[in-house]
Amino acid sequence: MLRSPSDMTCCEAAAAIRQASVSPLELVDSLLERIDALDGEIEAFCFVDRENARRRAIELGNEAARGIIRGPLHGVPFVAKDLFYTRGIPTEAGSKVLKGHTSSFDATAVARLNQAGGILLGKTHTTEFAILDPAPTRNPWNYEHTPGGSSSGSAAAVAAHMAPLALATQTGGSTLRPAAYCGVVGFKPSFGRVSLHGVLPLTWCMDHVGFIARDVADVAVALQVTAGFDPADPASANVDVPDFRSLIPMAKPPIFGRVRHAFFDDADPEVLMALGEATTRLSRSGASIRDVRLPESFTAIHAAQHVAGDVETAEVHSGLYALYSELYRPKAREAIEVGFLVPAELYLRAQRIRQQFRSDMNEMLEPFDALILPTANAPAPKHLVSVGDWKFQSPWSSAGLPSISIPCGLSSARLPLAIQLVGGAFSEPSLLAAAAWCESVLGRLPPPPLSASP
Amino acid sequence: MRKYEHGRNRGNLSYLFDLACVLEVEIFFEEMEAGGADKSSRQLTGVPASNLVASAAKPDPLAKRETLEQVPCGAMPAADQRLKETMTVDDKDQAAQLHASADELLERMLATAARRFGAERAEALRPAIAELAASAAQVRSYRLGLGDRPGFYLNAKV
């Protein structure tokens, strides 16, 4: 049976466009059809940029026909979380405070995907300002469950084959957790690797651009075209951009450090069983897996992130909050208000703990390709009132380390489960190679059982 | 002051010690291993000036995981109970200190909230403030060295 173009991954679609076996317009139309059929219930999108996407698809299709290829994503559609500025179309961050706000420029990440030939298909729902008040989005695997958050729409759109690639963000666990809950790949590179210029901040020190796609190769391509120093972002790292796929496929199986203590007491037995099964399969295929202990500074990292994060969120919002406090939803308002109350020396101490943890982790990770642990403590919770527990993802965000989530199976309730790999700072080539290796051993999940397939 | 900051002039250790006692801050000592000019072999320790001698040889009970991970405070009775069941005597002293620290921060933050947002709103925020105060107390109790004067890794190479 012929697959619908909407089922293609980014790399498959880009290759098909280069070989003229599918046109960008066919691809866009196939995704729009899918959105029309499904998004009434899933609600991943807050804005579908139908006309512009079709117009650009025609333009890129004409270029491809003449042999002009702008970049690795020529003709490939993507979506962006509604925190990313997009010129001419609204960026509202899921909030009444920004109702009707349209920016005059594209976020650097959006601009770079466009330069690589990408087609912005629309904007996806986020929790309000990436804080905790949930988006309306449902989990494509089961509409009664949360897709996770804050990048709720990005994960759901990719999982439901309404887009092959999504821009997301992560400050705690906002890219990897929704990706895990929705059965897709979520990847957050090192702090500073991808510019945050034009991305509405949640904090100054822990925000990251993230990517959600259906396989590791796709998030690697997305990183390749978006990475690199950007003078417009003061936190952008002035480091070389290597070939992120240079180590794929790996010359020899990866070496993993396995974490089985600390926050593991909070994990659902099914999650631990899935991790056990996954590590057994990985080691049977040649991976070396050694138990490791997290450094002492781990014991204070959640507290440090809580303190530093709330203070910075309060500072980020202080101007808007002074004018529109009553328009904020309850959890956002609460997070902002309590952030104003922290004594300054404890904020600074929290920052030093984060720095300590980062340096301890980099040292600990030295002998390994990556740390391996579950992405989340449980599958997607059954409700839409919260977006799940961030504890398993947030320490690595706090330390600015790259992390990636790949699906590893389904729970007894047929919800996706995932493993998480964490690498040292700026170790993306080896982290992505290890993830691709795991993906090849663990296989892919089938798509979610959605009835509305066209 | 600058000449001391830059290390051109040495300060007097006993003066530093008196100063630290008055300011209730910690003094940090660099312990160089024999012949260890190597940065990686350098160790930094910090101890409160007021009990420098007494605590120098004692392991730090605050560094114990149980104490740090389960910060008891008014808003978390269940965690408090679990903690009591599993603690050693030493842990209990430290946990009590942490408890007091969290409660003190909670009161201080509630007072600030009342001034800033009014008494009613402050009361509504109490659970969130209590959680944050527990985190802040944990941050306050965590012992840090001076490290390599880490910044916030803007443009940082590793």
Within 8 A of B128 by CB-CB distance, chain A residues are: 334-335, 337-338
Q: Which carries the bigger pLDDT value, residue B81 or residue B141?
A: B141
pLDDT at A193 over 70: yes
Fill in the amino acid letter for A56: R
Whether A204 contacts A235, CB under 8 Å: yes
pLDDT at position A385: 87
Whether A26 contacts A76, CB under 8 Å: no
Test A349 with B140 for CB contact under 8 angstroms.
yes
Q: Are A323 and A284 members of one domain?
A: no
| pLDDT, tens digit (0-9, with 9 covering 90-100), for B68-108 | 333 333 334 444 554 455 555 567 888 899 999 999 999 99
**A409 part of a folded domain:** yes
Interface membership of B84 toward A (CB under 8 Å): no
pTM: 0.85
Closest by CA position to B142, among listed A400, A397, A396, A346: A346
Among partner residues B71, B150, B158, which is closest to A352 by beta-carbon distance?
B150
Work out the average pLDDT over B55-72. 33
Query: What Cα–Cα distance (Å) separates residue A230 from each residue in A240, A244, A282, B57?
Result: 12, 18, 38, 49
Tokens of A331: 């959890």
Q: Are A347 and A375 members of one domain?
A: no
Q: How confident is the model at residue A2 (pLDDT cuts 50, 70, 90)?
A: low
Map residue A142 onto helix, strand or coil.
strand
Torsion sign, CA atoms B72, B73, B78, B84? positive
Domain residue limits at A85:
5-295+355-442
Q: Are A140 and A53 members of one domain?
A: yes
Q: Point out which residues pair with A409 in neighbouring strands.
A: A417
**A453 part of a folded domain:** no
Test B154 with A235 for CB contact under 8 angstroms.
yes
The size of chain A, in residues, is 454
Q: How many domains, chain A?
A: 2
Q: What are phi and psi of B23, to 5 degrees?
A: -85, -5
Q: Are A181 and A329 members of one domain?
A: no
Closest by CA position to A83, among listed A95, A68, A65, A66: A95
Whether A54 contacts A25, CB under 8 Å: yes
**A410 part of a folded domain:** yes
Cis geometry, peptide bond prior to residue A201 (ω within 30 degrees of 0): no
User: Which DSSP symbol is given to A447?
Assistant: P
A150 a catalytic residue: yes
Residue in A6, A30, A81, A236 annotated catalytic: A81
Q: Which carries the bigger pLDDT value, residue B4 or residue A133?
A: A133
Work out the average pLDDT over A103-115. 98
**A448 part of a folded domain:** no
Interface membership of B112 toward A (CB under 8 Å): yes
Q: Are A312 and A370 members of one domain?
A: no
Interface membership of A334 toward B (CB under 8 Å): yes
A6 a catalytic residue: no
Q: What angle do CA B116, B120, B126 make, to 5 degrees?
A: 85
> Which of A332, A352, A372 is the C-terminal boundary of a domain?
A352
Q: How confident is the model at residue A450 (pLDDT cuts 50, 70, 90)?
A: confident
Interface membership of A363 toward B (CB under 8 Å): no
Q: Are A283 and A317 members of one domain?
A: no
Map residue A109 onto helix, strand or coil.
helix
| pLDDT, tens digit (0-9, with 9 covering 90-100), for A160-179 | 999 999 999 999 999 999 99
Q: Are A188 and A247 members of one domain?
A: yes
Interface membership of A341 toward B (CB under 8 Å): yes
Q: How confident is the model at residue B149 (pLDDT cuts 50, 70, 90)?
A: low
Q: How far is A307 from A114, CA to CA, in rounded Å?
A: 37
Q: Are A42 and A165 members of one domain?
A: yes
Concatenated DSSP letters for A290-301? EEE---GGGGGH
Within 8 A of A390 by CB-CB distance, chain B residues are: none
* Domain CATH code at residue A177: 3.90.1300.10
> Which of A337, A352, A367 is the C-terminal boundary of a domain?
A352
pLDDT at position A451: 62
Q: Are A321 and A394 members of one domain?
A: no
Whether B48 contacts B22, CB under 8 Å: no
- Own/partner pairs, B63-67, CB within 8 angstroms, 24+ separation: B63/A296, B63/A299, B63/B143, B64/B91, B64/B94, B65/A262, B65/A299, B66/B91, B67/B91, B67/B94, B67/B95, B67/B98
Concatenated DSSP letters for A73-100? TTT-EEEEETTB--TTSB--TT-GGGTT
A174 a catalytic residue: yes
Among partner residues B68, B150, B153, which is closest to A299 by beta-carbon distance?
B68
End-to-end CA distance of chain B: 32
Whether A124 contacts A93, CB under 8 Å: no
Q: How far is B38 from A189, CA to CA, in rounded Å?
A: 31
| pLDDT, tens digit (0-9, with 9 covering 90-100), for A420-443 | 999 999 999 999 999 999 999 999
Q: Are A316 and A283 members of one domain?
A: no
Test B138 with A303 for CB contact under 8 angstroms.
yes
Among partner residues B116, B139, B158, which is closest to A353 by beta-carbon distance?
B139
Domain spans in chain B, listed from the N-terminal domain onward: 2-56, 62-141
pLDDT at position B93: 85
**A345 part of a folded domain:** yes
Within 8 A of A265 by CB-CB distance, chain B residues are: none
| pLDDT, tens digit (0-9, with 9 covering 90-100), for A140-150 | 999 999 999 99
pLDDT at position B94: 86
Among partner residues A297, A356, A362, which is closest to B158 by beta-carbon distance?
A362
Whether A387 contacts A152, CB under 8 Å: yes
Q: Are A142 and A288 members of one domain?
A: yes
- Whether ipTM tops 0.95, in short, is no
Within 8 A of A350 by CB-CB distance, chain B residues are: 139
**A424 part of a folded domain:** yes
Test A340 with B116 for CB contact under 8 angstroms.
yes
Q: Are A311 and A420 members of one domain?
A: no
Residue in A6, A30, A150, A154 annotated catalytic: A150
